[in-house]
Amino acid sequence: MTGIPGALGAIVGADHVLAGDAAAAVLVDGRAPRWVVAPGSAEEVARCLALASARGLAVAPAGGGTRRHWGNPPRALDVVLSLRRLDRVLAHERADLTISVEAGVTLGAIARQLGPVRQFLALDPPRAAGSTVGGIIATAASGPYRARYGTIRDLLLGVTVVLADGRLAKAGGRVVKNVTGYDMPKLHVGALGTLGVIVAAHLRLHARPAEEASWRVGFGSAEAALEAALGIMDAPVVVSRLQFVGDATLGVTVGSVPEGVRAQGSRITEICGRGGGTPVPLAEPEAWWTAVAEGTWPPAPGSLTLRIGTRPSDVVKALRGVEAAAGGTVSVRATAEIANGVLHATLGDPGLRTAALVGRVREGLAPLSATCVVEHAPAAAKPGLDVWGDVGAALEVMRRLKAELDPQATLNPGRYVGGI
């Protein structure tokens, strides 16, 4: 190979560069890259990016591929930069409850390593096992556990990124408390890799509770389920998950010492009982929760998947707004992390009417000041869609930030908010 693929091969080894049809198989929103490159170290990532920026190539970083189509379609795409070979756990400081990993390490691999010592990385986004740490940082994907443990924003202690021009920059550290300079790791959380390619991270871990129990609680209506959820939030119980599922069901998880699980379970039973719900213990909680997660992701090819941020007490109103916008012609399935005010709505294939439908949903949500991000839409509909929605006046600041850190728009051009 000569030219650009030759140069990339010289950095990462020819075996780790795909071109032609093999590269074209790795689509990003229907767009094929010219090359797929898999560096084996942070330094190789740095050299690849230095080359890409020198040659004016557009680069899309890639992790486990579980959320590859998030964002707007790329404005340009030359290189998919796979982080999968950066898959080493660098250090697990068991007594510190921290772990340091390369970006391509999957949550599944971390769970396997930590399981025997009863520690865990408290993130449970859909398809967690195959999701990489770098991808989770870039997408800020989360799951029901955020009710108790927060999101990657709260668990990320430090990060090393390769900037667009190939310079390595580290930020934060591996201690749990740190105000040394700006909190730069936060800038990469949810940034879809547009400010730098994440190559390593230090993460905060939690100890597994001695016991964890989950219940399913059916109610007569979504409103009754919400009322019970708000009652649980207002009670002095600590829930690990508090999930609205389907039409009128709550899923609840409590983790504690056995006595604590029993005592809090009784309290939750009492609160739910007031709304006519009876908690049923889940015999196989992991399977149930996996099914809940996979109800939203991965999406069916033609479906529209929305992530709506609202106040917890407005979750059902937001859902009703989505249903009204869909107008009965398109099916709506929903689940929500109620305590966090995050509603996931999956709409059956709206086809070419997608953009209009999303517009109606956003209009309907405006009185709630709710946010609405399109996580998935039918490929044909995406070019006419603003997947992120209005960012407000802060967009100007975001544009300047992108211009400072990636002036040539090497990283994921066009895919982020406002076409950043």
Positions in 92-151 near other proteins (CB under 8 A): 93-98, 118-119, 150
CB of 402 to other proteins, least distance (A): 8
Query: Interacting stretch for other proteins, rule CB under 8 A, among 81-89, 126-134, 168-176, 323-331?
Result: 168-176
Q: Which of 173, 299, 348, 419 binds other proteins (CB under 8 A)?
A: 173
Identify the burial level of 400 via C-beta atoms within 10 angstroms of its C-beta, where 0-12 means exposed, 13-18 middle and 19 or more buried. exposed
Distance separating the N- and C-terminal Cα atoms of the chain: 33
Q: Which is nearer to other proteins, 82 or 119 (CB)?
A: 119
Q: What is the dihedral of CA 134, 137, 139, 140, to 10 degrees?
A: 150
CB of 21 to other proteins, least distance (A): 35
Q: Which is nearer to other proteins, 150 or 246 (CB)?
A: 150
Q: Which is nearer to other proteins, 8 or 171 (CB)?
A: 171
Q: Which is nearer to other proteins, 372 or 381 (CB)?
A: 372
CA distance 362 to 38: 39
Q: What is the dihedral of CA 256, 260, 266, 271, to 10 degrees?
A: -60
Residue 398 binding other proteins, by CB under 8 A: yes
Q: Which is nearer to other proteins, 22 or 397 (CB)?
A: 397
CB of 28 to other proteins, least distance (A): 19
CB of 17 to other proteins, least distance (A): 26
**218 to 277, contacts with other proteins by CB under 8 A?**
230, 233-234, 236-238, 256-257, 259-260, 262-264
SS3 46: helix
Q: Which is nearer to other proteins, 52 or 159 (CB)?
A: 159
Among candidate residues 134, 136, 116, the one with its CA nearest the CA of residue 126: 136
Find out whether 36 and 152 touch, Cβ atoms under 8 Å: no
Q: Which of 287, 352, 356, 397 binds other proteins (CB under 8 A)?
A: 397
CB of 254 to other proteins, least distance (A): 9
Query: Interacting stretch for other proteins, rule CB under 8 A, among 56-64, 80-88, 326-334, 387-395?
Result: 387-395
Residue 396 binding other proteins, by CB under 8 A: yes
**7 to 36, contacts with other proteins by CB under 8 A?**
none
Q: Which is nearer to other proteins, 129 or 395 (CB)?
A: 395
Q: Which is nearer to other proteins, 32 or 408 (CB)?
A: 408
Strands across the sheet with 332-337, in order?
A: 278-281, 211-218, 249-256, 241-245, 332-337, 342-347, 304-309, 371-376
**195 to 224, contacts with other proteins by CB under 8 A?**
195, 206-208
**320 to 379, contacts with other proteins by CB under 8 A?**
340-342, 369-371, 373
Q: How many CB atoms lie within 10 A of CB 371?
A: 17
Residue 2 binding other proteins, by CB under 8 A: no
DSSP annotation string for 96-141: GTEEEEETT-BHHHHHHHHGGGTEE-----TTGGG-BHHHHHHHT-
DSSP annotation string for 175-197: SS---SS--THHHHTTSTTSS-E
**284 to 313, contacts with other proteins by CB under 8 A?**
307-313
Q: Which is nearer to other proteins, 219 or 388 (CB)?
A: 388
On the question of a cis peptide bond just before residue 236, with omega within 30 degrees of 0, the verdict is no
How many residues sit close enough to other proteins to count as binding (CB under 8 A)? 81
**64 to 93, contacts with other proteins by CB under 8 A?**
93
Tokens of 108: 């599944």
CB of 298 to other proteins, least distance (A): 19
CA distance 320 to 325: 9
Strand partners for 218:
249, 278
Find out whether 346 and 295 touch, Cβ atoms under 8 Å: yes
CB of 155 to other proteins, least distance (A): 10
Q: Which is nearer to other proteins, 7 or 398 (CB)?
A: 398
Residue 1 binding other proteins, by CB under 8 A: no
Residue with tokens 């209506």: 221
Annotate 350-413 with three-state secondary structure: CHHHHHHHHHHHHHHHHHHCCEEEEEECCHHHHHHCCCCCCCCCHHHHHHHHHHHHCCCCCECC
